[in-house]
Structure formats: C-alpha cells, structure tokens
Amino acid sequence: MSASAALIDTLKRELKAQGATYAAVARALGMSEASVKRMFS
C-alpha cells in the first residue's frame, strides 16, 4: 500500500470513528461533497 493510500485509509477510519460525514468534511474544507467523496475513493 502506498503512503497516500495508507493516509486515506487512516483518515476514513478516524472520520468514521468520530461519526463525521462526507458532507460535514466538505463544509469544513470548503469543498463540495462530491469532491470529498472523490478524494476518499
């Protein structure tokens, strides 16, 4: 697994553990929800 893939996987796990949604992450980053979903896929 590449370093970037490992980072994305870790971020996904942490966000899930905190109950964060893609929509909430998108708002916090000033991005669209679709862009956040693409980033995490």
Q: How far, in Å, CA of 14 to CA of 2, rounded?
A: 18
Query: In this model, does residue 1 exceed pLDDT 90?
Result: no
Mean pLDDT of the chain: 95
Mean pLDDT of 9-28: 96
pLDDT band per the 50, 70, 90 thresholds, residue 34: very high
Both tokens of residue 18? Answer: 């905190």
Q: What is the pLDDT of residue 15?
A: 95
Q: What is the pLDDT of residue 3?
A: 94
Query: In this model, does residue 16 exceed pLDDT 90?
Result: yes
Q: Which residues of 17-40 are buried (b: 16+ CB within 10 A; e: fewer)?
A: eeeeebeebbeeeeeeeeebeeee
